[in-house]
Structure 1
Amino acid sequence: MAFKTIMVQLDVDAIAAPRIAMAWDLAQRIEADLIGFC
């Protein structure tokens, strides 16, 4: 079973850029959708 959606938590009190970059890279590699939430 392959997942095609990745959800990433974006903490407004922390630096989110590294987490977003990692999630974006993974989503592109596996052709998944990326959803960010706070």
Structure 2
Amino acid sequence: MHLSQANETLAYKGADAMPTWVTFAIAILAFVVWAVASRRGG
């Protein structure tokens, strides 16, 4: 299974289960958490 196919399947299920803005907010939150963690680690 290719990565692109997995992303399309995940995006379809995610869009069908929750609004787009929720997915967008989660992505931003995950990025912020990663940035803070990398700053503390480095």
The answer to which structure, 1 or 2, has the higher relative contact order (CA under 8 A, 6+ apart) is 1
- The TM-score by the shorter chain falls in which range? 0.3 to 0.5
Higher normalized helix content (fraction of residues): 2
In terms of fraction of residues, the more strand-rich structure is: 1
Q: Which has the larger radius of gyration?
A: 2
Q: If the length of structure 2 is used for normalisation, what is the TM-score?
A: 0.41
